[in-house]
Amino acid sequence: MKKLSHYDSGGQPRMVDVGAKPETRRTARAHAFVRIAPAVLRKLPSNPKGNPLEIARIAGIAAAKRTSELIPLCHPLMISHAEVEVTLEAKGVRIVASASTTGPTGVEMEALTAASVAALTVYDMTKALDKSIAIQDLYLLEKTGGKSGDFRRKVAARRKGGI
């Protein structure tokens, strides 16, 4: 059975030493969905705070770059690329975030953080209209590189207009 790498032999949390690991190209993509009522979705273009989708995209990119400041045992990484796609759908907003680097550890947490913060930003930009907005389905879609190899989530076909 594999053991969790963020604990020492005494069971105390620790930052993993990645100093001896080879630098390889690593990528990750993550997903989140913000379920929003149709009446609120129709009001997005006239939001007085600005375009919520564009602001969420920029917030997600900024968050990817600051992941190690938010998640205590994450390593600070030199991210070579971060991107956040924010798509309006019939039942809400779909977010797909990606991050890449060449380094000794992966960028899964950077992609997940980007998707999370982008989703939180959509909520922040629309909460005045509806407090029942739900952030859901935050997960890793795929990652490449590193000792553990590639991973691709098997995602069931989405229903039209939502998840």
- Which residues are catalytically annotated? 124
DSSP letter for each residue of 117-145: HHHHHHHHHHTTT-TT-EEEEEEEEEEE-
Contacts (Cβ under 8 Å, ≥6 apart) of 26: 100, 101, 102, 103, 105, 106, 107, 143, 144, 145, 146
User: What is the layout of strands, in order, in the sheet containing 92-103?
Assistant: 81-89, 92-103, 24-35, 134-144, 151-152
Label residue 145 left, alpha or beta by phi (over 0 means left) and psi (-120 to 50 means alpha). Answer: left
Name the DSSP letter for residue 21. Answer: S
Label residue 34 left, alpha or beta by phi (over 0 means left) and psi (-120 to 50 means alpha). Answer: beta
